[in-house]
Amino acid sequence: MGHFNLILVLSLSLISLCIYPYHISAQLSTNHYANICPNLENIVKQAVQRKFQQTFVTVPATLRLFFHDCFVQGCDASVLVASSGNNQAEKDSSDNLSLAGDGFDTVIKAKAAVDAVPQCKNKVSCADILALATRDVVALAGGPSYSVELGRFDGLVSRASDVNGRLPQPGFNLNQLNSLFAANGLTQTDMIALSGAHTLGFSHCNRFSNRIYSTPLDPSLNQQYATQLQQMCPRNVNPLIAINMDPNTPRTFDNVYYKNLQQGKGLFTSDQILFTDQRSRATVNSFASNSNVFNQNFVAAITKLGRVGVKNARNGKIRTDCSVL
């Protein structure tokens, strides 16, 4: 009987591992560094504020960097690693080439500030610094501040080939979005809340030109907005031309992104589909009508995102240089 119970427990454990492969969050806690580096959060916050004062791009660049990191092999700072020798790292995959350098620089500067404190030197992971910096940039742009779970280790690998198929694309429909987010333990509501990060930042014309030059025009696209986009993105435009994701309040973290969707002003197909598809429209309407509801859902979703694929002392390390494995 005892042997049977042992087999049953082992079987249930294996089932749990299969069902929940993306969350290894037991090691994470908001006070992880309380005795290791007690002033960590203030050190990072001050470094992020200094970077923010240099350029607003710090905000969307850092937020996007966190997302791109967590969706590929988990939140392990593998996106920060530079290619070397025969290894092409994640940051050099085609999907990551548009990541703004200011996001990387934010983490590098914050890491340097942390390591300048003897008690903290080489004790804090790059993955945790990125998670903290992400919270700080959201708050600097007027968004909610929130407690950040800490205790991640940095990944031991970073391969461009791992990025393929793991990041949402501008042309995705709702099923494709839900499938990708579900693979990371995130619900449709989480996905819609995290999409609200598009209230900040910019994109390049080639990422949505198919929408504004299709024949007939994408019916979900506001005609007046389409005309404005055509003027800003004429055919054969310089591919470096940047267009705000949110045409109304591009420097404020708010719920205007969802109000734009209600008016057909989502820049990407994957934005506008959240309102066009009846299955997600109610959530968009809810977030558009109540900024507190959006903020609460965003905090819950980005906290869950921060638990994806967390590394520990057995399959990770604390990098001394965030760009070197």
249 labeled part of a ligand binding site? yes
41 labeled part of a ligand binding site? no
168 labeled part of a ligand binding site? yes
74 labeled part of a ligand binding site? yes
Of these residues, 3, 23, 68, 204, which one is catalytic? Answer: 68
72 labeled part of a ligand binding site? yes
78 labeled part of a ligand binding site? yes
Residue 190 near residue 300, CB atoms below 8 Å: yes
Q: What is the DSSP string of 206-256?
A: GGTHHHHS-SS--TTS-HHHHHHHHHHS-TT--TT-EEESSSS-TTS-SSH
Is 204 tagged catalytic? no
Point out which residues pair with 202 in neighbouring strands.
244
**Residue from 113, 17, 20, 101 nearest 61 by CA:** 101
For residues 226 and 246, what is the distance between their CA atoms, to the nearest angstrom? Answer: 14
For residues 110 and 103, what is the distance between their CA atoms, to the nearest angstrom? Answer: 11
Q: What is the DSSP letter of 117?
A: S
320 alpha-carbon distance from chain centroid? 23
Catalytic residues: 68
Known binding residues for substrate are 168
Binding site per annotation, positions for Ca(2+): 69, 72, 74, 76, 78, 90, 199, 246, 249, 254
Annotated binding site for heme b: 198
Binding residues are 69, 72, 74, 76, 78, 90, 168, 198-199, 246, 249, 254
